[in-house]
Structure 1
Amino acid sequence: CSCRKTCINRVAQRPLHLRLQLFRTERRGWGIRCLDDIPKGQFICVYAGQLLTEQEANEDGKQFGDEYLAELDLIESIEQAKDGYESDVDIDIDHQSDISQSSGSDDSGEFSDISESKSLVPGQGHENKNDSSEKLSAHTLSSTAVRIIQKDDCQKKTRELYGPNEHCYVMDAKSTGNIGRYLNHCCKPNVFVQNIFVDTQDLRFPWVGFFAHVFIRAGTELTWDYSYQVDSVPDKKLFCHCGAKECRGRLL
């Protein structure tokens, strides 16, 4: 945005200012712990690395290992979260059309003057009905304003709008990256990921930012949930050693 660099909302664009320490864990390789208390919601750092296509990431993963690969799958994550969001909504198009015609709207699609409809004013005109199908709303649309969403429109994925053969881009931090690549997984993490947009509004290229999920005391290891799906990679098992009571036992 066009605000000044001193704006307090520019948390992810500032240099790292928290004191973090790289240390060797007992069973999970390198890890990161904080040397100062971190308040809940505090920005910690971003995940930096080399940007690869899905094909390049697969080739590099087979040759050099995939432990530092992170998919930029914001689009898929949001679509999965909203999957079935409107499954309980039942729209009766025929009934909607009848209501529109009775509300006095003409074929031009314009709304009639609701001030002339006494039925829209509580306690005047029509008496109250127990049947909800008889109630009129000031927000009732005319029949020409109703757009019937086709099934194919609902199933079209956002990423497909960018063109054919479009896949998630992958951040590879194995050889090029920052301290964010050493944050370990935990089934009950104290850090959460927030996708943010700074230099572009393109949904395919978010910045991956880490923020404190809870108040974190100095000396505590910083962890986040990798959200891997068990058995998603054929012939590969990765066991979890986070030590949390809620530990799921496996990452892959």
Structure 2
Amino acid sequence: MAENLKGCWVPCKWPWAALQQLCRDQRLWCRALGVSRRSHGRFEVEYLCDYRRVRDEEFYLVKWCGYPSSSNTWEPRKNLHCRGLLKQLHQDLERVPGGPARPGPRGLPARATSYLVQKAKQRQALRRWERLLNNTRSHRGRIMVENEVDLHGPPSDFVYINEYKVGAGVNLVPVAVGCECGDCLANAVGGCCPGASSNKFAYNEAGQVCIRAGLPIYECNSRCRCGADCPNRVVQKGIRYDLCIFRTGDGRGWGVRTLQRIRKNSFVMEYVGEIITSEEAERRGQVYDRQGATYLFDLDYVEDVYTVDAAHYGNISHFVNHSCDPNLQVYNVFIESLDERLPRIALFATRPIRAGEELTFDYNMRVDPVDAESTRMDSNFALSGAPHSSPRARRRIECKCGAAVCRKFLF
């Protein structure tokens, strides 16, 4: 754990504060615990957990970084040089359950101090999760996490992955051939990879999708002559926009918003999870129905044989919410496997998306049958922890998207 803790060990069930104190006592430093080389010679404010006014002077109860709560001290405002934490405390005081809290000579009400500590610990947990997500991602786009709505922390049973996780009974057959193009967009040999499957080239020179929803996308693969900069390699380059996982304030759980402007028809993200058989999906669906949420996506481009389950293994798409007027559209994509029963699921922008706008797609999407494609969401998708159930439960699910064209029910 500690960077210079060689050949040593500590009991794994020790409290966080005890581990911090051990590091300080032994003159060790550990980034994960917040005990740094600098903190040995100076005191750092971890968070503020109480506030009082005595006459005209303000005092704050300080939790010191690397020290247990028993070492907390009251400090006058002039001793603190943490403008951001001071501002955060006063913002939190306006959101205390039961109404804004005001300080007295002895401090804040117990409900307020409890809330301040919970919020501080929640933010620490979310920052640790944010670092984990960014250390795990293989794509260019960064991930931020924000919750200014309630006290929910990171999901406890979710593992971030970048590629499909293949489950039992699923066999991915790798592609056997690739294209011989020198320039796949300007001088495609035999129609490049799309032409080999009697399909159209999916992208324009700006990397935007230019075929209608429902038609498949065939990208170049590892056996192709072209390189990584090929214009027919869009989805496989991964997420390139900075995105934020945020807590919604209207009962829809977590959501995702973009931190950058996204052009119409641009690739945004891939829906990633564990590939399982339809039989296993049926079994899990019954379990998820009882739990009140599920993340099953049928891969029924030609046959309803396989399903993607993103309940426990997935990427940022796990948190994308539904809308009856979405700004994302689903496309089936084939790259390293041409098995039409196992497409990759890509989400493209249906219109220009502003920075700060929430990303959504229609969980109950249907496309024109003449397109020979009926990809659809087979579940309540991203209302993490919300009391909803999948269509297998034969119950109508209220829609909370708020769109002007809202259908009022998801299924």
Q: Would the aligned equivalents of 1:21 and 1:34 in 2 still touch at CA under 8 Å?
A: yes
Q: Which residue of 2 aligns with 1:11?
A: 234
Shift of 1:247: 0.3
Q: Which runs of 4+ in 1 moved over 4 A?
A: 228-232
Determine helix, strand or coil for the equivalent of 2:311: coil
Counterpart amino acid of 1:16? Answer: I
1:55 correspondence with 2:279: yes
Q: Would the aligned equivalents of 1:52 and 1:169 in 2 still touch at CA under 8 Å?
A: yes
Gaps of 5+ in 1: 76-158, 160-166
Q: For 1:167-188, what per-residue CA distance to the aligned partner results, in whole angstroms no more than 9, with x for missing partners?
A: 4311000111100111111001
Counterpart amino acid of 1:36? Answer: Q
| Matched ranges for 1:179-218 at <5 A | 179-218=316-355
Shift of 1:229: 8.9
Counterpart amino acid of 2:353? Answer: I
Query: Which of the numbers 288, 301, 314 marks the counterpart of 1:177?
Result: 314
Counterpart amino acid of 2:298? Answer: E
Query: Which of the numbers 219, 222, 226 marks the counterpart of 2:359?
Result: 222
Q: Would the aligned equivalents of 2:286 and 2:392 in 1 still touch at CA under 8 Å?
A: no
Identity of aligned pairs, percent?
Answer: 40
Q: Which residue of 2 aligns with 1:45?
A: 269
1:73 correspondence with 2:300: yes
Using CA pairs under 8 Å that are at least 6 residues apart, name the structure with larger relative contact order, 1 or 2: 1
Query: Which of the numbers 234, 238, 245 marks the counterpart of 1:22?
Result: 245
Query: Which of the numbers 216, 239, 243 marks the counterpart of 2:402?
Result: 243
| Matched ranges for 1:88-167 at <5 A | 159=303, 167=304
Gaps of 5+ in 2: 1-219, 365-376, 380-389
Determine helix, strand or coil for the equivalent of 1:74: coil
Determine helix, strand or coil for the equivalent of 1:181: helix
TM-score, scaled relative to structure 1? 0.60
Shift of 1:54: 1.1
Shift of 1:243: 0.4
Q: Would the aligned equivalents of 2:257 and 2:359 in 1 still touch at CA under 8 Å?
A: yes
Q: For 1:87-120, what per-residue CA distance to the aligned partner results, in whole angstroms no more than 9, with x for missing partners?
A: xxxxxxxxxxxxxxxxxxxxxxxxxxxxxxxxxx
Shift of 1:15: 3.1
TM-score, scaled relative to structure 2? 0.38
Structure-1 separation of matches of 2:378 and 2:333: 24
Give the CA RMSD over aligned residues: 2.0
Q: Would the aligned equivalents of 1:229 and 1:251 in 2 still touch at CA under 8 Å?
A: no
Determine helix, strand or coil for the equivalent of 2:313: coil
Q: Would the aligned equivalents of 1:37 and 1:216 in 2 still touch at CA under 8 Å?
A: yes
Structure-2 separation of matches of 1:21 and 1:229: 25
